Amino acid sequence: MKPKRGVIFICDVMNLLGLKYGAARLLLIKIKESLDKKDSQFITIKEFSKYTGIEEDIVIEFMVA
């Protein structure tokens, strides 16, 4: 399955992990900090997958359209 986009949003994290908005947002902030990214930069599917240990295919399945 090919994703419609290459980046992860808070709603995707909420859907995938069953987290509430605040917890999902904090996770993305932690990932950005670990990757030394600026607030304005996005997190890719590959980066999210590597950080969480969740396979990219599974992440893509749960992405909100």
Closest CA to 8 of 22, 28, 26, 23: 28
At CA 54, angle to CA 58 and CA 17, rounded to 5?
75
**Predicted confidence (pLDDT) per residue in 23-65, tens digit:** 999 999 999 999 999 999 999 999 999 999 999 999 999 887 6
- CB atoms under 10 Å from CB of 63, counted, come to 19
Provide the token pair at 64.
Answer: 């909100």
The confidence band for 3, taking pLDDT boundaries of 50, 70 and 90, is: low
Distance CA 43, CA 65 (A): 17
